[in-house]
Amino acid sequence: ETGVTQTPRHLVMGMTNKKSLKCEQHLGHNAMYWYKQSAKKPLELMFVYNFKEQTENNSVPSRFSPECPNSSHLFLHLHTLQPEDSALYLCASSQEVALAGPPDTQYFGPGTRLTVL
Amino acid sequence: GENVGLHLPTLSVQEGDNSIINCAYSNSASDYFIWYKQESGKGPQFIIDIRSNMDKRQGQRVTVLLNKTVKHLSLQIAATQPGDSAVYFCAEAFNNAGNMLTFGGGTRLMVKP
């Protein structure tokens, strides 16, 4: 395993529900990421956190709300989602966000398969 | 599994043969390229990377070739095994860009026993 765990692995929710996705990394990393992998598009970066601070929001709609209480945990709070939000949501971590030089290697979790009805 | 519905190019090879997976990247200014492997039910897993000032890099059973003239990247897998069956993605990045990766659409590799 990669050292990055995600729960739940599968989630079905209605458009009016509120749910949260959880990610935990056991690698001692300081950067964590949320990605969306949908059936029709390549893997898309959503959010980046470095030392608990958000450093990137890739124009993600406000119905997705990330939270990073510490360097080991990352949440994605979901509310009022749309059917087109159905996708595999992947969490990743890296040593830190490399501000200079090449990017640090990112280690991915297995993802949460989300279905919005 | 992942990417069902996305019309991924598929490469089917016989076990023991060599595989070549291709990727056309978008930005001629990219500094860094990475190959990831994603097996069914799992997240992407780093395989190998290459910097833009190189044209070849070898790992264990894998070789990445970079042709900057035509913005083309390839992953060669020697003696392909059933465990190599997966979707393979290339990604590109810039130096000093805070770990931002741009992923390609992926290629599905199927290994026939």
> Quick one: pLDDT at residue B95?
76
Tell me the per-residue pLDDT of A85-97, one tens digit each, with 9 for 90 and over.
Answer: 999 999 999 998 8
Interacting residues of A79 by C-beta distance below 8 A, sequence separation 6+ = A17, A18, A63, A65
Q: Shortest CA distance to B105 belongs to which of B10, B14, B19, B32?
A: B10
> B99 or A67, which is more confident?
A67
CA-closest candidate to residue A78, choices A45, A39, A36: A36
**CA atoms A104, A109, A115, B3: torsion sign:** positive
Residue A100 has pLDDT above 80, yes or no: no
Tokens of A91: 């969490």
What is the average pLDDT value for chain B, to the nearest integer? 90
Provide DSSP, B65-93. Answer: EEETTTTEEEEEESS--GGG-EEEEEEEE
Cis amide bond preceding A69, omega within 30:
no
Chain A hits for B100, CB-CB cut-off 8 Å, are 45, 48, 56, 103
Is residue A6 a contact partner of residue A111, using CB atoms and an 8 Å limit? Answer: yes
The predicted pLDDT at position B34 comes to 95
pLDDT for residue B3 is more than 60: no
More confident residue, A62 or B3: A62
Point out which residues pair with A91 in neighbouring strands. A34
pLDDT value of position B7? 67
Min Cα–Cα distance to chain A from B8, Å = 10
| Contact call for A102 and B46, based on CB within 8 A | no
What is the Cβ-side half-sphere exposure of residue B103, based on CA atoms within 13 angstroms? Answer: 23
Q: Which chain B residues are Cβ-neighbours of A105 within 8 angstroms?
A: 34, 46, 49
Quote the CA–CA distance of A112 and B22 in Å, as a whole number.
28
pLDDT for A103: 85
